[in-house]
């Protein structure tokens, strides 16, 4: 699970317009709003920018791997 204020990698169709074609950036997840968007602080061009990205077209990837989860045994 990605925790609040976690450092993340963000990929969004909207970033392509902001970053001259680049569709991914590093940032920090601030919150997931019930209105359907991620509030993210993006690290761009030497500064930090608060952005609101729609959940429907945005992917957020944790920069740290999850701790190992034990396998679930399935009866066959």
In the chain the beta strands, taken as DSSP E runs, fall at: 7-12, 24-33, 37-44, 47-54, 58-62
Confidence of residue 49 (pLDDT cuts 50, 70, 90): confident
Q: Residue 62 pLDDT more than 80?
A: no
pLDDT of 1 strictly over 60: no
Q: What integer pLDDT is reported at residue 38 of this predicted model?
A: 87
What pTM, to 2 d.p., does this model score?
0.64
Identify the pLDDT of residue 35: 92
Average pLDDT over residues 54-70: 78
For the chain, what are the domain ranges?
A: 7-62
Question: Each residue of 2-31: pLDDT tens digit?
Answer: 556 667 677 666 666 566 666 677 788 888
What 3-state DSSP class applies to 14?
A: helix
């Amino acid at each position: 699970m990605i925790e609040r204020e976690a450092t993340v990698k963000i990929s969004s169709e909207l970033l392509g317009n902001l970053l001259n074609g680049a569709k991914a950036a590093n940032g920090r997840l601030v919150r997931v709003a019930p209105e359907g968007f991620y509030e993210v602080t993006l690290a761009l061009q030497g500064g930090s920018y608060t952005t609101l990205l729609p959940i429907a077209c945005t992917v957020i990837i944790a920069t740290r791997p999850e701790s190992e989860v034990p396998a679930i045994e399935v009866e066959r």
